[in-house]
Amino acid sequence: MVEYIQWTMHPEDNVQLVVLGHQKSGTTAIGALLGRISGFGMSSDPVYMIDQGSAEVAQSLIHQPKLLRQYCRRRRDLFSQKIIKDPDLIFIYPSLKECYRNSKFLFVVRDPRDMIRSICNRLALKGIHQKILLSKADMKNGNRHWELILSGNLPRINEAIQNDSNFILNLARRWNLAAEIYMNNANDMSVVKYEQFLADKEMVIKKTAVEVGLPCVRPISEYIDVQYQPRGDRKVDWLEFFGPNNLSGIEKVCGNYMRALGYPF
C-alpha cells in the first residue's frame, strides 16, 4: 500500500538508478544488463519514446529543465521505472538530480573517437566529411533529433555553427560537454568506461550493480553478448576513418577530458 501511494503521489521516488552518458557509448547495453541482474524494469530513452525523433520533448526539457517533474508524473510508465536510461538527460543534470532526489546516477563514457565513429556508422555518414550542416535526408534513418544533435543544437553548443565547424566537431563538443558535467559532479555519480565493460562484461555489471545499490539476484551470462544496438565498424582505425583534420579536431576539442578520463592520444 505504501509503495502504491508513493507511485501515485511521488512516482519519481520509485526510480533507483538513472543511467547517463552520450548516444553510442554503451548506455543501452549497460542499463539493460543492470536491469537483468537486479530484476528491475528499465525505461530506455523515455524522451525519445514520447516524441519519436521529432525532438519536441527533448528541446522543451533543454529549454525548461524543471518540466521533467511534470513529464515524470504525466508519463509514469516511462519516467518512473526502477532504472531509467536516457543519454539526453545528462544535459539537464541539476534539474535531473532535483527531480530524482533519492536516485543513484551512473555515467557511461566511451572514447570520443570511437563514439563519434559509431554514430557515423549508425547514420551512414563519412568521418572525413567537412560539411557544416546536415539534414535528416543526408542520414540513414535520420530524424529531427539526430539533425539537432549533429548541428550542435541539442543542446546548443556555444562554439557550434561556425565557419570552421562541421558535424564531427559538433559531436566532439557535445561529448566534451557531457564529460564536463560528469567531472563537475563526479562526487554524485558512479562511472563506467565502455572499454572496461567490453573487456569483462559480467564482472563490470556485477561490480557496478553493487556500487549503485542494485541487488544481484539473477544470472546474466546468457545476455552478456546480446547486441542491444546496431554495432559500428571497429576495424577501421581513427586516422583512416576521420582523416587527419577531423581526428586532430576531435582530440583538440576533447583533449583535457580525454586525459582526465584516461584516454590516450
Q: pLDDT tens for residues 89-120? A: 999 999 999 999 999 999 999 999 999 999 99
pLDDT on residue 236? 86
Which 8-state DSSP code applies to residue 181? H
Q: Is the pLDDT confidence value at 7 over 50?
A: no
Q: Give start and end residues of each alpha helix (H) in the chain.
A: 2-9, 27-38, 46-51, 56-63, 68-74, 76-79, 93-99, 112-123, 144-150, 167-184, 194-199, 201-211, 238-260
Residue 133 in this model has a pLDDT that exceeds 80: no
Containing 70, the helix (H) or strand (E) segment is helix 68-74
pLDDT band at 5 (very low <50, low <70, confident <90, very high): very low
For residue 23, give the nearest of 153, 167, 174, 152 by alpha carbon. 174
C-beta atoms surrounding 34 within 10 Å: 27
259 Ramachandran zone, left/alpha/beta (phi>0; psi -120 to 50): alpha
pLDDT for position 9: 56
> What domains can you pick out in the chain, each with its CATH number?
2-260 (3.40.50.300)
Q: Report residue 134 as a C-alpha cell.
A: 546536415
pTM: 0.93
Residue 25: count of CB within 10 angstroms of its CB? 26
CA distance 260 to 107: 15
Q: What is the pLDDT of residues 158-215, one digit of tens each?
A: 765 555 679 999 999 999 999 999 999 999 999 999 999 999 999 999 999 999 999 9
Of 114, 133, 105, the closest CA to residue 34 belongs to 105
Q: What is the pLDDT of residue 235?
A: 78
Q: What is the pLDDT of residue 4?
A: 44
For the chain, give the mean pLDDT.
92
Q: Enter the C-alpha cell of residue 51.
A: 516524441
